[in-house]
Structure 1
Amino acid sequence: MKKTTYLLVLLGMLNCQREREITPRAVQLIEGRWEAIAWNPPANGKKDWKEINRDKRSWMLIFRSDGVPVDADGLGMCCPPNSLLVNGSLFFIKPKLPLPSNGSKCAGLWCRSCETIEIQVTDDNLLWTDCIGVSTRYRRLP
């Protein structure tokens, strides 16, 4: 009986370990490089999309394989969220690799960090909506 109990506990522990190594579907959907193409500043509740005509590199968003959003240089966001709501699935951001600081860009910046960012992703399009209602449209880069 003891051997059976120990065996079941061991199998249970191995099973849990395997689950941690699997990348959540939410991360698989967003992993990769994205280029911002338009944004919607909150203006009297209207959806008034404005095309982005800036340096493409400054409007690039990269999601690492652990779900962490970084800029084009692989540096962390100035005001990062704690979780992502991707197509209705909640994913808590827990970096598996060190996240380089973005101190030079973030110095003196007053942050109002959103706990959760809502993301809608379909094929090669991504819509990022923050907690104050600002939305940004992205397209997937190869």
Structure 2
Amino acid sequence: MRTILIPVDGSESSGRAVKAAIKAANELGGANLHIITVHPPIVSGNVTRFFSAEAINEYYQDEGRNALLPAKALLDEAGVAYQEKVAIGPVAITIADYAKKNQCDLIIMGTRGLGSVTGLVLGSVTTKVLSLVDIPVTLVK
């Protein structure tokens, strides 16, 4: 059975990627779907000086759960089983590492997420993921 990874960030683009993954799973007669959201680590010394590691981790988990909600709603509505992951790290590298560790056969992802730069043909995370993996990546606009 194929394993499909869908990186999500709560954006409309990642929602369309989830819909495409559901369709692909149905066409394949089933697939193991994994949704992942990655939060870049907070590197500001001011933040880590004023907040405990536990409070920062709680923040990461809360933000991650919020980013996963739209994808989970689509998957639940479609009746498709999935695994979910909230990760912290360099976004593209963490996605690529997850795909490798979980033996994913395919990544389906949006072309642009919620980043601050809009209007680019491909988002920076998308471009970096493409350069880091050796499995097919389907981009959904």
Shorter-chain TM-score range: under 0.3
Give the number of the structure with larger relative contact order, counting CA–CA contacts within 8 Å between residues 6 or more apart: 2
Structure of larger gyration radius:
1
The structure with the largest strand share of the pair is 1
TM-score (norm: length of structure 1) = 0.27
Q: Which has the higher helix share?
A: 2
